[in-house]
Every structure is written in structure tokens, then in C-alpha cells.
Structure 1
């Protein structure tokens, strides 16, 4: 079994031993890094299955996603790391397949996961962005857990710090001693191997946990499909850009930190997309409101016209009845007068005869 590593937080008076190796099976080392990554995946799958019914998804969809996403994400994470650290593997290509000691780049893993989720959504005939919004919150949850694998490997740490949680270990000391000149040349930073360093893995673990909570809330409040997906990349990239500036083991492209550059690109791209979608939705809402008012006004106008027409009919009917009554009275009077005229000569005739 590997020797234990003495880790200390001098300003907090904490000191303990850890080992990157958990145990052995058939004389093969099983590392904490791999165990923690596997644990992170299991937690995400269980949580996602529990939530799947709320989003009209069957649990089998979540299982299928993980079965494909897990290996593909690991492959992409490794390829991403190897591409930017090619000098470490060019002379020993078989070492590319040895991931037990770490060497996975999270951005590569995310790219692999997104590609896998896209094809799963298409195959299952699920709206792509709706599926992304469901699945993306579990990514930072997995990251928050997985970062503790970096702790057991004593990697992904930063520059010197005097903050209370500054960390020291034999591994950080050896790394800084061996890479002082490279760090100075690439980053313009002078490091002291004997002083505590930023535990940047811990910073990112806390950041990822906060993003997970935010996205779970955002998933219920989103304005459009794909918004949660966009906010993951914006929030994570902003935090990662800051944390990456503290690290001493960044993947580099010339004099540029790859993760910082990619973070800036993602923030700009997804930020523009969210603004565009929000403006579009707002315009559609105003148009719908205007259309609704126009329709409502039209309905009111029709009702008013119908009421006016009905009133005219009633008025016409009323005057018609009065006219008929007048005509009837006139007819009665005429008939009465006629009768009197006809009757009068007869009476006169009778009188004359009597005489």
C-alpha cells in the first residue's frame, strides 16, 4: 500500500494523514479518486431517477443516459487532458490509458456528457433543451463530490496563501519545488514550497454545490427550455475562471490558461443567448397582450353594435305598434261615422211616412 501523506492546515492547527490508495484487489491498487468519481455518479443517478417522474420521464431514460454518458465523459475528459499535456504522454502512449492517478479535465467530461445527452434525447424523442434542463443540475452535484478525489491525490491546488484554510502537504511541497521555474515562467508567479497553498479543489467543490442548489431552484422558475442549461455554463464558467487564476497546474495553450479562455467564451456565448431569448419572449408577450386587447376591443365593438341593433329593433317595433293602434282607431271612427250617415236617411224617411 502507498505511503500515507501528511496534510496540514497550519493556521487552523489541523493535521492528519491520508492515502491516495484505498485498498488492493489481487495486488492491484484501488484509488480513492476512482471510488469518489463512482460515488458521484451513483448519487447523481439516484437523485435523477427520483426526480424523473416530476418531469414526465421514465427512470430507464436516466439509466440509459448514465450508462452511455459515464464512459464517454471519462474518455473525453482524458482526451482533453492529454491533448494539452501531450509532452507528458508522447514518449509513453500506454500511460494515456492509466487514469487511476487522475488526469481528467472536467471541461472535456462536460463536452462528452452534453454530446451523449443530445443523442439520448433524440433517440428517446424528448425535446432536447427540455432534457438538458432536467439533466444539467446533476453535473455540478457530481463535480462537487468528485473534487474530493483531487484532495486524496493532493492535486488541483493553488498558489501560496496566508488565509486560515491554507493547506500544506509533502505532495504540494514536492510539486512546487519541481515546478517553481515553470510556474514563474508561465504565470509570472513566485511560489514558496514551504508555505501553505490555496485548496482550490475545495473552492470548486463549494462553488459546484452552490450551483447545484441554484439550478434546482431555477429549474422550477425557468422562462424557456434551455435556460437552466445556459445558466449552468455561465455560473460555472464565471467561478472557474476565477479559481483557475489561483492554480499552479493549469492546462496551457501557449501562455494562455485553457480553462480561463474557454470560460470567457462560454459566458459570452450563453449570456448573449439568454438575453436574446428573454427579449424575444418579452416581445412575444407584448404582442400577445396587444393582440389580446385588440381582440377584446373587437368583441366589445361587436357587442355594442348588436345591442344598438337590438335597441333599434325594439324602437321600431314600438313605433310600429303605436302606428297600428292609431290606424285601428281611425278605421273604427270612419266605420262609426259611416253608420251614422247611413242610418240618418232611414230615420228621416220614417218620420216623413208618419206625417
Structure 2
């Protein structure tokens, strides 16, 4: 059966630009952009809840490197065949700019770093987790654009009216180099753009989180639980479409599908079990209110108390 292609989605001709000896990678730029956006929005949400802006900055300083390291460790463990074994160079395991960060490891690594910072400051974790949940997912959506530039994390041949074109990329000498080369116009495959599906799903869940947070006035980390449940629900099905090499368990089941299912169930159980939780004050503020010079609190942010 054939399907008429109504929308061909082109891949970028390249994902790396060389400025003299410096290689500027789109993947790294997308990750950095996502981090900046997430920190900015988290500050506004946390301050609107009554917290201090500097708490977010201190937490971000610890969480960003911890999240990157944790994400890379998870990726290397679950996709170890890419870095170890015959014909592989283990040094590639530390080349983060080439792509490969596992969200589970990033959340665990970053979460532990934030927990340590807040524990040191004697600040409750729940309000911070609720403030950071939508921004984290927005950052994930922005980061997925990096996969588009890298021509990675796509599905099988598309039988839908749309498809992503994967180009052959070559270096200056004409040798095939899919990661660092430039497209020569040859289309190698037309595939399911699973990176785009996840990006759009993430944006939808971000909107749902903000609306639920505003209308239900969720507290005690329950916005974060919803983020985890919403993300893993979509990731489970998107993962089933992907065809890139991955570690499998229970025969031929991708490990990320299993993790998504387990974490989804855990998040839903926690959300139901904590239904009696209400919002709590993030910090006991002495002097001027959270992050504003005149003690006006959230009024200085231009946002409602629900972010």
C-alpha cells in the first residue's frame, strides 16, 4: 500500500558550523537555549509562589551540570553498544555535543543536585518542584530540535501523508559524514519524525500543566508528578515508533518503553496518594519579599500567583 506524501519535512542541511577551529553544534545550542528558557520561567513561577529568585539561580548552577552528567551516564549505559566493543572508541562516550542525553538520568542527576541545594538552604522541595515542572518540559521540547539538526531519533519509513527527509551528508573531501558533514541533496530515507511528535506532545503537556496548576492550585510536588506522568505517557507510544538502535529487554522491548511505563504508573500512584496536599509557602522570607526590592512579591513579576 502506498500513501501520497502531502508534506515532506526537510532536515537541516547540516548540524555543525565550523568557525575556524571552533565547531558550533546546533544540538548544544538547543540544549543551552532550553536551559536558559527554563531558568528564566522557573524564576518567574517560583517568585510568584513566594520564593526567592536567587534560590532558583543557585539550584540551576548545581542542577545543570549534574543533569548533563546524569543524562549522559544514562545514555551511555543504555546505549553502551555505541561506545564499547569491536570497532568502537570509548572516548566518544564523553563527547556530549555529538548527541545523546537520557532524560531519565538528567532528571535524576539534576533532581538530586536541587534537593541538596534546597536541603542546605532548609527550603521545602515541593513548591520548587511544582514551579520547575512546566519549564523543564518546555526545555525538553526545545532540546528535541537538536535531534532534528543531528538527523537522529526518527522512526521507520512513513506511511502517513507526511514524512521527514533524511539527507546524505558529506565532508569537504566528499566522504559520508552524517554527524559533521553537509547535505549533498541525496535523500536517504523518508521517515516518521518522532522527534517532532515528542516536541509537540511536550508542548501540549506544558499547556495542560499550567492550566491544571492554575485552576486546581496544586501543591506539594503534584505538578511535578503530573509532568512525569504526562511526559512518560507520550514517550511510551513515541518510543514504539523509533527504529534507531537501542538496548532492549524482555526479548525485543526497548528499555525506554519499559522505563516510561514503570515511571508513569509510579507518578500516577503518587499523584492519587497525595491528593490531600495543598500549596505551601516556599520560603520564610525575612525583609523584602521574594526576589523584589520593595517586598511586593509576585506583584513585581507581572504574573498571577499561579505562574
Q: Same fold (TM over 0.5)?
A: yes
Q: Larger helix proportion, structure 1 or 2?
A: 1
Equivalent residue of 2:140, what SS? Answer: helix
Q: Do residues 229 (structure 1) and 224 (structure 2) align?
A: yes
Q: Larger strand proportion, structure 1 or 2?
A: 2
Post-superposition shift, 1:219?
A: 2.5
**After alignment, is 227-236 or 253-262 more displaced?**
253-262
Structure 1 length-normalised TM: 0.66
**After alignment, is 96-105 or 247-256 more displaced?**
247-256
Equivalent residue of 1:245, what SS? Answer: helix
**Aligned residue-pair number:** 252
Post-superposition shift, 1:163?
A: 1.6
In 1, Cα distance between the equivalents of 2:46 and 2:7?
43
Q: Do residues 253 (structure 1) and 287 (structure 2) align?
A: no
Q: Which runs of 4+ in 1 moved over 4 A?
A: 13-17
Post-superposition shift, 1:203?
A: 0.6
Equivalent residues of 1:10, 1:168 under 8 A apart: no
Equivalent residues of 2:167, 2:189 under 8 A apart: no
Equivalent residues of 2:9, 2:163 under 8 A apart: no
Equivalent residues of 2:166, 2:188 under 8 A apart: no
Alignment correspondent of 1:166:
163
In structure 2, relative to structure 1, the CA distance for the partners of 1:32 and 1:68 (3 Å cut) is same
Q: Which has the larger radius of gyration?
A: 1
Equivalent residue in structure 2 for 1:241, among 236, 261, 273: 236
Alignment of 1:20-169 (within 5 A): 20-24=15-19, 26-90=20-84, 91-169=88-166
Equivalent residue of 1:100, what SS? Answer: helix
In 1, Cα distance between the equivalents of 2:8 and 2:148?
18
Alignment of 1:198-347 (within 5 A): 198-220=192-214, 221-249=216-244, 251-254=246-249, 255-278=252-275
In structure 2, relative to structure 1, the CA distance for the partners of 1:15 and 1:136 (3 Å cut) is closer
Equivalent residue of 2:241, what SS? Answer: coil
Post-superposition shift, 1:72?
A: 0.8
Q: Do residues 196 (structure 1) and 190 (structure 2) align?
A: yes
Equivalent residues of 2:12, 2:148 under 8 A apart: no
Equivalent residues of 1:250, 1:257 under 8 A apart: no
Unaligned residue ranges in structure 2 (runs of 5+): 170-186, 278-307
In 2, Cα distance between the equivalents of 1:137 and 1:13?
31
Structure 2 length-normalised TM: 0.75
Q: Deviations over 1:28-83 (max 9, x none)?
A: 31110001111111111122223332111111111111111111111111111111
Equivalent residues of 2:74, 2:105 under 8 A apart: yes
In structure 2, relative to structure 1, the CA distance for the partners of 1:16 and 1:130 (3 Å cut) is closer
Equivalent residue of 1:22, what SS? Answer: strand
In 2, Cα distance between the equivalents of 1:88 and 1:20?
20
Post-superposition shift, 1:14?
A: 5.8
Equivalent residue of 2:261, what SS? Answer: helix
In 2, Cα distance between the equivalents of 1:103 and 1:39?
17
Alignment correspondent of 2:283:
none
Cα RMSD, aligned residues only? 2.4
In 2, Cα distance between the equivalents of 1:16 and 1:128?
41
Relative contact order higher in (CA < 8 Å, ≥ 6 apart): 2
